[in-house]
């Protein structure tokens, strides 16, 4: 009986092959010198060209923490249908919201130790902010494919467990324009042995940072970094 199971399992393992795809990203034309050291947050994803997309994992979970007046991670990639938790790990209140593009939501003001959740049910880019702290921002990249990765600070990225075949490789970077990103798209063939992609250089030319309004569409007050709310510690 045991050998039977072993044989069945081996056959299954042979029929479901999975390859790893890795690469490096470089940033250029950056206005901010920080980009030279920190190449994190560039999202890469693969869409099968001649095979159907696997059905989305609608029960997937992910999270963005609020700590030290920052959202972490700053860029989160998820499959469509993923629920993202937003725990407040700071000793102060926060109010995550999004009304700029993508998923529109307002989690309201909530105290230290509490969490709220948002289900990202449509593909696209969602920028989110905190209604109290203008410097807090994050981006959720919602994808129809389960094959994606986000670059680390050194620029490395890796998508694991992809069935070999033909794919379209696309990417997103917060500080690049849509035409720049479109020009970097490519078709790739992933062999059984996996693939190491030559370094990809992403230009930040044409990126102009703009101040975002608060959730009421107004400018943040000058003292936004130190707001006083009833019951909220500074
Ligand atoms: Cu905040």
Residue 178 C-alpha to ligand 1 middle, in angstroms?
29
Higher local confidence (pLDDT), 206 or 1: 206
Residue 139 C-alpha to ligand 1 middle, in angstroms?
15
pLDDT tens digit string along 61-120? 999 999 999 999 999 999 999 999 999 999 999 999 998 778 899 999 999 999 999 999
Residue 2 C-alpha to ligand 1 middle, in angstroms?
56
pLDDT tens digit string along 144-199? 999 999 999 999 999 999 999 999 999 999 999 999 999 999 999 999 999 999 99
Residue 65 C-alpha to ligand 1 middle, in angstroms?
11
Angle CA 208–97–104, to nearest 5: 90
Residue 228 in this model has a pLDDT that exceeds 80: no
Residue 70 C-alpha to ligand 1 middle, in angstroms?
8
Token reading at 121: 């049910």
CA atoms within 13 A on the CB side of 148: 25
Residue 132 C-alpha to ligand 1 middle, in angstroms?
5
Q: Contact 216/40 with Cβ under 8 angstroms? A: no
Residue 27 C-alpha to ligand 1 middle, in angstroms?
29
Residue 134 C-alpha to ligand 1 middle, in angstroms?
8
Lowest mean per-residue pLDDT among 49-53, 94-98, 125-129: 49-53
Residue 97 C-alpha to ligand 1 middle, in angstroms?
10
């Amino acid at each position: 009986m045991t050998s039977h199971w072993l044989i069945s399992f081996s056959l299954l393992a042979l029929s479901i092959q999975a390859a790893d795809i890795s690469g490096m990203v470089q940033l250029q034309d950056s206005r901010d010198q920080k980009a030279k050291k920190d190449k994190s947050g560039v999202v890469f994803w693969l869409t099968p060209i001649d095979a159907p997309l696997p059905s989305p994992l609608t029960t997937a979970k992910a999270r963005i923490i609020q700590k030290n007046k920052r959202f972490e991670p700053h860029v989160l990639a998820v499959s469509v249908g993923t629920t993202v938790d937003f725990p407040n790990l700071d000793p102060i209140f926060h109010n995550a919201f999004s009304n700029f593009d993508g998923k529109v939501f307002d989690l309201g003001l909530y105290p230290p130790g509490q969490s709220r959740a948002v289900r990202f049910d449509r593909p696209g880019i969602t920028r989110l902010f905190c209604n109290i702290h203008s410097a807090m921002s994050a981006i959720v990249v919602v994808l129809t494919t389960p094959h994606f990765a986000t670059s680390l600070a050194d620029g490395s990225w890796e998508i694991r467990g992809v069935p070999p075949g033909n794919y379209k490789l696309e990417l997103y970077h917060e500080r690049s324009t849509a035409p720049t990103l479109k020009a970097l798209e490519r078709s790739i063939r992933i062999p059984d042995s996996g693939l190491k992609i030559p370094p990809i250089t992403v230009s930040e030319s044409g990126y102009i940072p703009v101040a975002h309004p608060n959730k009421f569409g107004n400018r943040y007050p000058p003292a936004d970094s130190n707001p006083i709310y009833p019951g909220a510690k500074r």
